[in-house]
Structure 1
Amino acid sequence: MADHLLLGIDTGGTYTDAVLFSEASGVVAKAKALTTRHDLVVGIAGAVEAVLDQAKAPVSAISLVSLSTTLATNALVEGQGGRAGLVMIGFGPEDLKRDGLGEALGNDPVLFLPGGHNVHGHETPLDMAALDAALPDLAQSISSFAVAGYFAVRNPAHEQRVRDRIREVSHLPVTCSHELSSKLGGPRRALTTLLNARLVSMIDRLIGACEGYLDRRGIHVPMMVVRGDGALISAAEASLRPIETILSGPAASLVGARHLTGMDDAVVSDIGGTTTDVAILDKGRPRLDAEGAVVGGYRTMVEAVAMRTYGLGGDSEVRINDRGLTARLDLGPRRFLPLSLASTLHGDVVRTALERQLRASHVGRYDGRFAVRTGLPDNLASGLQSQEQALYDRITGVPLPLDQLLASTLQKATLDRLVGRGLVHISAITPSDAMHVLGRQDQWDREAARLGLELAARAKDGSGRPIADSAERLARMIVDRLTRQSCDAIMGACLAEDGVGAIDPAESLPVDRALLRRPGIVQFRIHLDRPLIGLGASAPVYYPAIANMLDTEQAIPFDADVANAIGAVVGQVRASATVFVTVPEEGIFIVGGSGESVRLLAEEEAFSLARERAIGAALHAAHLSGADEPAVTLAELIEAPEIEGQRKLVEARFTATATGRPRIAIDQ
């Protein structure tokens, strides 16, 4: 095949997607494999082998591999990661109280060293005696280091000296704060650096495993990873700065949406198995979170898409509140294993149990629910309490009906803790099962889905009537509920972007009247000012009704099911560098950032050096990130107010941005 093929991979909560993409003809082949959380490479290999087989393409045709992943995001949300040592230069213990730094640090060790710089880059002498004394023991108890210096973005010299000493003695990975952000705000920069250090070994394992698989398959080409702002970064740089890959998957979906639809302005909603992600496309670019991405409750200094994530997806738990006169359904936020999928994976065991429960004359509390191990390694189950261990030992890799597992309410709470640890999946009815019953999805076992919904429909509401008269009726109720909750999520994200986030669409009577088109003397209408792009494997079955309820144009691209993987290969490499010019005293100009501080006597000479340094640093970073022939733009912000008729320079900021497509392998 003469055309060079690009291989895009996306690891999601339920599926790992792969696409082979040609810049000349678009998607050549696409495939999905179930994500194997205990060993992500198994799912990746399954998806990649499927697209290679489908395309009948030799591996020699592949010239680039690009990966988007939710691994870093999930790790921070779940509080996972390696143990890191934090070295703070020029800060004191009181700084741990700011920006959640102390809370994030937990029991990990921290060292305070005298040193650092001021706003103009002038230093306080660095004293590494405490570091030298602690390093031999520290190196035995942690997996990486984070180094944050006072005003290091203006002069990184002390961070670099401490980094070099740590590497010399410990040979462990070290992250410096100036490598992650050029923004002021020491404690938040230290927090970002700490989180990055914790992720290094995890992302390193993922990238190493992917590279190992590609190497075994003879695919020796550049490998890229999607950053949280949608730009691409080389795998080597992602290993050094894994924090930049938080929100990688959602960012890739936005890039994919733009490419697939050609739309510059749109609301993008991506429904997966676990979550719905909503973001805004403006003038062809994703809106970024100006304050930095919030992940796991911590606001970082990482530029990432302004993405709002809701616990609502095709595999969401269906919660039935049957205490009122009419039953009420709510979906999520927990993810369940759909009965139709569990039956496909495990044969007749699921159907047999559902049929047994249907034959019973009474409705059982745990009807239609099963427990099954997730497949995580045994070492991740360490530290269980005795009752947790006893219950966990009874659960295997084959779904076990809860009516045979649980004997008391206390055991139900114990099971919930095992689910919370990620050790056990609950299998029960989900929107995916409802879609199978209605014939709108067909990839899994429809009969198991129908049996599960028949069981659930037997539950009685407050008036003593079954909540639905058939599996089909309950399926329509579930899908209607997903439509409404999706509208609430999309509306909530758009209202927040408009600055009126105080309005909760789920609680607002006017919003309810508008969405349901209720008649009245006063008519309420809701309409989005831009189209709704629906993404995800199930987008074609869910989003037409959602767009109709929101009274907006819909756009569901043909390859909506693999938009993330497409976004992973069509994105651009983008790198920025900022250099500052400050005036500590009349006639003295300090150039700082992207290197040592320089003192000059002429403003224009300082500006010229700052421009040159910013452009050079951006180009260097873009090349390190894998860009081929990047182009540079320069933005200048000069604060020079007129005071008593005299122009007075306060600060000048020069930001260069280098952008280009990633290098590809011309010949293997």
Structure 2
Amino acid sequence: MTLPYLLGIDTGGTYTDAVLYSETQGILAKAKALTTRHDLAIGISEALGKVIETSGVSVEAIGLVSLSTTLATNALVEGQGGRAGLVMIGFGPDDLKRDGLADALGSDPVIYLSGGHDVHGTETPLDLSPLEQALPELSRTVSSFAVAGYFAVRNPAHENRVRDFIRDHCCLPVTCSHELSSKLGGPRRALTTLLNARLVSMIDRLVGACEDFLTRRGIDAPLMVVRGDGALISATEARLRPIETILSGPAASLVGARHLTGLADAVVSDIGGTTTDVAILEGGRPRLDADGAVVGGYRTMVEAVAMRTYGLGGDSEVRIDDRSMNARIDLGPRRLVPLSLAATLHGRPVIDILERQLRAAHMGRHDGRLAVRTGVPDHLAAGLAAQETALFARIGSEPVALDQLMTATSQLATLDRLVARGLVHICGITPSDAMHVLGRQGQWEREAAELGLRLAMRRKNGAGQPIAASPEDLAGRIIDRLTRQSAEVILSAVLPEAGLADVDPARSLLIDHALRREAGIVRFSLSLDRPLVGLGASAPVYYPAIGDMLSVACEVPADADVANAVGAVVGRVRATVTVFVTSPEDGVFILSGAGDGRRFTDEEKAFDAARERASAGALEHARQNGSVDAVLALVEEIDAPEIDGSRKLVEARFIATASGRPRLAHGE
């Protein structure tokens, strides 16, 4: 019997990629389309339509569809997402000071409720009255809720009651912290839950766009999503727990890099439009970050690849500091819509704006900058302040020049807030524009890129001289800066593995001498102990120079542009469930996790029950995620020291992991 074909999708910040893959023939077809953030279905339909038509494969022969995405990662890196209401049970305002929770919360509302449990699951009475009073107003100004209870991983009853109360009184999505992690550490679990709540609408729209396309084309196959550790989960699971998809794209790229290169040991660097993601392959598997993924400066409780994500990509903002004798160029971390892309999408009006600014006798502060709505649904604009609403109303679906939009300096901060909410894009010069001016990329409108660089050239350095002699000169300096910053972020990712976490490559004089190959009596050099794999659509134009700067062999596989989509279809389902046993007093053993708490008077019976619950839970979770042949592994960690000559159980952890292939339609 012929094995079904596998359809892989990767939705990034700039492009949506698709591949049609056969386990016996490899990649049959691949295609790209611009990611249409205002309506993800457009870009997804275009990419998938192209790949199906190019391959000539019948849709009835497609047995699995798998999706990876960088949208959640990009949103956290750029500080974007919906407005969420945080409900804290048993916590107080001082708890916001831990684990960056206050910074992550920003201006989003928080409600404190009395309640929660202790480490053994014993409750403090829950008081819902503050939530009852606040909910009518909150339900109109937030797009989702996050609920975090004290020791909810030991007893989730209060989180469940709050979730049910909110669902009974409004129709907004609710995320509970115990659903995302079984680890202790309430504030960090609350942070993870808050970020999850902000991502719900984004991932829901993405999954919905994929499902709509599959339905329209008559593709009756399971839809899977790549999790941050490279495993596959069902689309239903991804909708409930979108935080699991942070680092989904990077995780898929690692799986894809291994598959495309055959390398078991490598440093993998994936450059996209918004971010550069760096991770390590060791023994053919991605290294995982047991302490939780760090994205956008926040350490979450999501187990994911040990990936370092940096706000550096082809669409990174070009920032020019002209106060020094030689103007300094820096890139990122914010993504802009490249002027060349803006002109491709919106046509002549973009060129007209740039030409008008170039004709002006004097340089304007906002030259080369435009604003345009992202086109996301109107309800995501809920909760805007009056000045934000007024500015947002003046921005439409066609780009408007900032020099005409901004009437006061204070409005810059207002505009930044609209960008952070994902409501507005800023258009400006980026490395992608520089590449168009240099003739190394040509998919977008070169004229707009050159006009943008000519506007930037009007700036003077500290010596009163133009910062560049020509658009090509400035473009070359921007790309040189991208090469250098890329080398620095790769080193930032790998130095901690060598015990040098305190070394900042951007500030180290020795690293600066080594990267510049500074001549002198003492010559410094550095390299990596394994190959560098460059991934991403622009990897062939960027990574040879980066590998040369790092004095390392650099491999850019032939299908580097769709490595994420390849990784999406060659992954496996994996589910892990952890169950705990503690002893609050002699002869009493409390089982908690993955269900209601149970009390035992016999330790071995408690352990047997924990093994059974963890194993059954992992197998069931894997089955719900579409696995057909899950294999179980059980790890036991028992902390029971000798105290005054007698054994004392502190905590026993039973960790069951079930993994297997996803179910294929029309196949096995």
User: Aligned-pair distance for 1:165?
Assistant: 6.5
Alignment of 1:260 onto 2:260: yes
Q: Where does residue 177 of structure 1 map in the other structure?
A: 177
* CA–CA distance in structure 1, aligned partners of residues 248 and 319 of structure 2: 30
Larger Rg: 1
Q: What does 1:395-544 correspond to in 2, within 5 Å?
A: 397-399=397-399, 422=422, 424-453=424-453, 456-457=456-457, 459-463=459-463, 465-544=465-544
User: Aligned-pair distance for 1:504?
Assistant: 1.8
User: Could you list the per-position Cα deviations for residues 534-559 of structure 1 after superposition, in whole angstroms to 9, with x for gaps in the alignment?
Assistant: 11110011001101111112121111
Q: Where does residue 283 of structure 1 map in the other structure?
A: 283
User: Aligned-pair distance for 1:503?
Assistant: 1.8
Q: Where does residue 151 of structure 2 map in the other structure?
A: 151
Q: Aligned to 2:638, what secondary structure does the other structure show?
A: strand
Q: Is the alpha carbon distance of 1:388 and 1:584 closer, same or farther for their aligned partners in structure 2, counting shifts above 3 Å? A: closer
Q: Is the alpha carbon distance of 1:437 and 1:235 closer, same or farther for their aligned partners in structure 2, counting shifts above 3 Å? A: same
Q: Is the alpha carbon distance of 1:185 and 1:351 closer, same or farther for their aligned partners in structure 2, counting shifts above 3 Å? A: closer
* CA–CA distance in structure 1, aligned partners of residues 413 and 586 of structure 2: 69
Q: Is the alpha carbon distance of 1:651 and 1:476 closer, same or farther for their aligned partners in structure 2, counting shifts above 3 Å? A: same
Q: Where does residue 660 of structure 2 map in the other structure?
A: 660
Q: Is the alpha carbon distance of 1:509 and 1:24 closer, same or farther for their aligned partners in structure 2, counting shifts above 3 Å? A: same
Q: Where does residue 554 of structure 2 map in the other structure?
A: 554
Equivalent residue letter for 1:371: L
Q: Note if contact 1:357-1:367 (Cα within 8 Å) is conserved in structure 2.
A: no
Q: Aligned to 2:663, what secondary structure does the other structure show?
A: coil
* CA–CA distance in structure 1, aligned partners of residues 236 and 467 of structure 2: 55
Q: Where does residue 371 of structure 1 map in the other structure?
A: 370
User: Aligned-pair distance for 1:348?
Assistant: 4.4
Q: Is the alpha carbon distance of 1:115 and 1:665 closer, same or farther for their aligned partners in structure 2, counting shifts above 3 Å? A: same
Q: Where does residue 55 of structure 1 map in the other structure?
A: 55
Q: Where does residue 38 of structure 1 map in the other structure?
A: 38
The range that moved more, 533-542 or 592-601, is 592-601
Q: What does 1:58-207 correspond to in 2, within 5 Å?
A: 58-76=58-76, 78=79, 80-81=81-82, 83-84=84-85, 86=87, 88=89, 95=95, 98-99=98-99, 101=101, 104=105, 108=109, 110=111, 112-114=113-115, 116=117, 118-121=118-121, 123-124=122-123, 130=129, 146-156=146-156, 159-160=159-160, 173-207=173-207
Structure 2: segments with no counterpart, 5+ residues: none
* CA–CA distance in structure 2, aligned partners of residues 451 and 572 of structure 1: 48
The range that moved more, 543-552 or 652-661, is 652-661
Q: Note if contact 1:372-1:397 (Cα within 8 Å) is conserved in structure 2.
A: no
Q: Note if contact 1:367-1:455 (Cα within 8 Å) is conserved in structure 2.
A: no
Q: Note if contact 1:2-1:61 (Cα within 8 Å) is conserved in structure 2.
A: no
Q: Aligned to 2:304, what secondary structure does the other structure show?
A: coil
User: Aligned-pair distance for 1:196?
Assistant: 3.2
Q: Note if contact 2:80-2:421 (Cα within 8 Å) is conserved in structure 1.
A: no
Equivalent residue letter for 1:569: V
User: Could you list the per-position Cα deviations for residues 481-523 of structure 1 after superposition, in whole angstroms to 9, with x for gaps in the alignment?
Assistant: 2111111111122223444232221221111111111222222
TM-score by length of 2: 0.87
* CA–CA distance in structure 1, aligned partners of residues 483 and 509 of structure 2: 17
Q: What does 1:589-600 correspond to in 2, within 5 Å?
A: 589-600=589-600
* CA–CA distance in structure 1, aligned partners of residues 640 and 660 of structure 2: 33
The range that moved more, 77-86 or 303-312, is 77-86
* CA–CA distance in structure 2, aligned partners of residues 194 and 363 of structure 1: 46
Q: Is the alpha carbon distance of 1:37 and 1:519 closer, same or farther for their aligned partners in structure 2, counting shifts above 3 Å? A: same
Equivalent residue letter for 1:12: G
Q: Where does residue 22 of structure 1 map in the other structure?
A: 22
Q: Aligned to 2:277, what secondary structure does the other structure show?
A: strand
Q: Note if contact 2:374-2:422 (Cα within 8 Å) is conserved in structure 1.
A: no
Q: What does 1:299-314 correspond to in 2, within 5 Å?
A: 299-314=299-314
* CA–CA distance in structure 2, aligned partners of residues 49 and 283 of structure 1: 37
Identity over aligned residues, as a percent?
64
Q: Aligned to 1:28, what secondary structure does the other structure show?
A: strand
User: Aligned-pair distance for 1:576?
Assistant: 0.7
Q: Aligned to 1:153, what secondary structure does the other structure show?
A: coil
Q: Is the alpha carbon distance of 1:604 and 1:135 closer, same or farther for their aligned partners in structure 2, counting shifts above 3 Å? A: same
* CA–CA distance in structure 2, aligned partners of residues 410 and 173 of structure 1: 34
Equivalent residue letter for 2:238: A
Equivalent residue letter for 2:226: V
Q: Note if contact 1:222-1:665 (Cα within 8 Å) is conserved in structure 2.
A: yes
Q: Note if contact 1:632-1:657 (Cα within 8 Å) is conserved in structure 2.
A: yes
User: Aligned-pair distance for 1:657?
Assistant: 0.9
Q: Is the alpha carbon distance of 1:500 and 1:167 closer, same or farther for their aligned partners in structure 2, counting shifts above 3 Å? A: same
The range that moved more, 61-70 or 318-327, is 318-327
Q: Where does residue 624 of structure 1 map in the other structure?
A: 624
The range that moved more, 20-29 or 641-650, is 641-650
Q: Where does residue 212 of structure 1 map in the other structure?
A: 212
* CA–CA distance in structure 2, aligned partners of residues 194 and 408 of structure 1: 33
* CA–CA distance in structure 1, aligned partners of residues 353 and 665 of structure 2: 53
Q: Where does residue 563 of structure 2 map in the other structure?
A: 563
* CA–CA distance in structure 2, aligned partners of residues 615 and 413 of structure 1: 52
* CA–CA distance in structure 2, aligned partners of residues 467 and 124 of structure 1: 65
RMSD: 3.7
Q: Note if contact 2:86-2:145 (Cα within 8 Å) is conserved in structure 1.
A: yes
User: Aligned-pair distance for 1:30?
Assistant: 1.6
User: Could you list the per-position Cα deviations for residues 8-35 of structure 1 after superposition, in whole angstroms to 9, with x for gaps in the alignment?
Assistant: 2222211122222222222222212111
The range that moved more, 124-133 or 607-616, is 124-133
Alignment of 1:317 onto 2:317: yes
Q: Note if contact 1:37-1:376 (Cα within 8 Å) is conserved in structure 2.
A: yes
* CA–CA distance in structure 2, aligned partners of residues 156 and 387 of structure 1: 38
The range that moved more, 224-233 or 422-431, is 422-431
* CA–CA distance in structure 2, aligned partners of residues 409 and 649 of structure 1: 62
* CA–CA distance in structure 1, aligned partners of residues 236 and 595 of structure 2: 22
TM-score by length of 1: 0.87
Q: Is the alpha carbon distance of 1:451 and 1:660 closer, same or farther for their aligned partners in structure 2, counting shifts above 3 Å? A: same
User: Aligned-pair distance for 1:205?
Assistant: 3.7
Q: Is the alpha carbon distance of 1:520 and 1:168 closer, same or farther for their aligned partners in structure 2, counting shifts above 3 Å? A: same
User: Aligned-pair distance for 1:451?
Assistant: 4.9
Q: Aligned to 1:182, what secondary structure does the other structure show?
A: coil
Q: Is the alpha carbon distance of 1:296 and 1:473 closer, same or farther for their aligned partners in structure 2, counting shifts above 3 Å? A: closer
The range that moved more, 44-53 or 597-606, is 597-606
Alignment of 1:572 onto 2:572: yes
Equivalent residue letter for 1:369: G
Aligned residues: 663
